Amino acid sequence: MKVAKLQKLVRTAKAFLSGLAEILIFFGYICPHNPFIGIENMRRTIVLLIYFIGYQLLAQAAAIVVQHYLHLEGDTATMVLVAASAAGSLLMGVHVVLMGDVPHHRRILSPGPAPLLPLCLLLMAAMGCWTNYLTEQMHLPDHHEELVRQLMRSPLGIVSVTLIAPVVEELVFRGAIQNALLRQWRFPEAAIGVAALLFGLVHGNPAQIPFAFLTGLVLGWVYFRTGSLLPCILMHLLNNGSSVVLFHLTGQRMDLTMAEQLGPAGALWTAVSGAAVTALCLYLIHRQTAPQGIPPEKEHPKNIQA
């Protein structure tokens, strides 16, 4: 059974990569000079996505092989999968740093002006109030509910969700992918939007995609305004960490809606209040920051002149 899972996983990976290659070739031929979808402009972004998904597939395939040959079941098998997922994420984080995809300038982890970090954290908390409400109104299927439940019950899973994922995903989607798009496109709004859309889609879960997309828009905007990944990482950490805390406070239930916990009127007022605080935080952050411009080209050993 586990060998069959591995074979299915490999087939899925091959189908995805071949389809991605066909799309790249198709758009490269029909519009090679288009500033938005030309092959030259999208190549690095697609390569980064392939690496991101590839590391996860490789780690999960290794976990399935270990489970099969060691005959692991139950909690032990789950721990192996969690460890593999964390390892895949760490490999991707190390990759984008060592390959120079993430800028190395001094402000990349700068806290910015004194009130900036508290405002960013308040922004993230306020966003959760209305984005969760909006997502619940869509009634989208949650295909990862059991997987997330297993992660949040495991100490290693909690570390992966609250620490590894925020750091690696911000390095990849804001530090690497958004930077690559900003260097190629004339409109930063397009780069932020596409990076956010990709961030939402890679979650692969209908119930998470809208929330991840909206969150990605705000994280991308904060990064563009500050030039620092530190606020984005802390905001991401707060979002994931609060999910873990709420999961345990509600008796490890993931099916509770805001309306069930606060009542329909309470949930609506919480969402409206959260939207108002979100708008206020965006305004204040906008006043305290300025666009940081186009990031420098990535530094790679083969690009350094002797």
Tens of pLDDT, residues 256-276:
888 888 899 999 999 999 999
Residue 305 has pLDDT above 50, yes or no: no
Residue 186 has pLDDT above 90, yes or no: no
pLDDT tens per residue, range 136-151: 999 888 888 888 888 8
pLDDT cut 70: percent of the chain above it: 82
pLDDT of residue 302: 41
Distance linking the first and last C-alpha atoms of the chain: 54
Residue 240 has pLDDT above 70, yes or no: yes
Residue 67 has pLDDT above 60, yes or no: yes
pLDDT of residue 238: 96
pLDDT of residue 16: 57
pLDDT of residue 129: 94
